[in-house]
Amino acid sequence: MKLKVLCILVAVALTLGCLQQLSEHVPKTVKYAKNFDIEDHGSYKILKVKHDGEWYTYVLYRDKKPDVEGVPIKIPVKRLVVMSSTHLAQLKAINATDCVVGFMWGGRYRIHFKDIAEKLENGEIVDVGSPNAPDYERILTLNPDLVVIYVTEYNEQVKRKLEELKIPYIVDSEWRESEPLGRAEWVKFFAALTDKEEEAEKYFSKVERDVLEVKKIVEGSEKPKLVWFSIWKGVVYVPRGESYVAKMAEYANAEYVFSDLNGTGSAKVTLEDLLLRGSDADVAVYASYRVKNVSDLLEIDSRLSEIKPVKTGRIYRISEDYWQLGLLHTDIVVKDLAAISHLDKFKDYKPRFFVKLEK
């Protein structure tokens, strides 16, 4: 009897060991992103997404749903409603925008993807209202396979309403990534949903290679000081020290002057603090395309004339298409930032996503 029990225990231990080994050898394709992960199990994939500190599991399958814990999603997804232009950019990167049937837009800004703009105009893609208050009847009418949303304190109720209406959705946490290559890597999230893994791998490999090449060009050079900011209704916003902007500065071998602000995303600072830290900065980026020249900037607050980059003429704004095409071309944005930081290293290069403010 004791021998039989011992044999059973040994068999169980061996089985668990084999399962652990198999788990350790499940191919994982995510290298930089911290808020999603993909496990390829051959006949199905496990997609995990982190939202508000919790991990949510989705089981992606083609024919028969496997007996695995998680929210089932049949792939490829053919009818998709998206909430953000960044979602469009990532789908564009892998040639998968044909599955988009609805967009939470509300006509609030210009669409810089020509084909998407044309489809919105002719109704092939339906505008289902703003991300904070979409038209749920229109979404229901579209009968989407999946709705891709992001969740902030301003639109938390959207998630609850989709649940109430039993509309399938998934949260995209790309905007929470602190690593620019991590943000770019979210193309793999959309590729898993649309069966475009090959396109995603090709796209991301190029972006990664180009970013690391830029890093190699500028490493070892003296670090210029960079200040990056915007002002909205009198409030100054700067990226925090663990934000993707701070990481881009690191790739560009620039010293970001607010790197001591812990966390990701943006922080509010006083204008006095901005003026103090910007007083000896070498280059500045104003994170809005609404200012066209230095005079526009000084109309926001005349004291900005005190920061060094305004005096030396090394202040730039982002381009109008930065928030759409910029995400699509992370490698070019990083190269642009390196170029405006190290003028001697990129003498014949014209930045694509940063525009110099003229007087």
Q: Provide the sign of the torsion angle of the four alpha carbons 343, 348, 353, 354, taken in this order.
A: positive
Q: What is the pTM of this model?
A: 0.88
Contact 147, 168 (CB under 8 A): yes
pLDDT digit string (tens) for 48-90?
Answer: 999 988 999 999 999 999 999 999 999 999 999 999 999 999 9
Contact 30, 37 (CB under 8 A): yes
Residue 153: is its pLDDT beyond 90? no
Residue 13: is its pLDDT beyond 90? no
pLDDT digit string (tens) for 234-273?
Answer: 999 999 999 999 999 999 999 999 999 999 889 999 999 9
Q: What is the pLDDT of residue 4?
A: 52
Q: What is the pLDDT of residue 1?
A: 52
Q: Set out the domains of the chain in order of their start, with CATH numbers.
A: 26-204 (3.40.50.1980), 219-356 (3.40.50.1980)
Contact 178, 242 (CB under 8 A): yes
Position of tokens 């998680």?
70
Per-residue pLDDT band at 29 (split at 50, 70, 90)? confident
Average pLDDT over residues 302-326: 96
Residue from 281, 95, 105, 278 nearest 202 by CA:
95
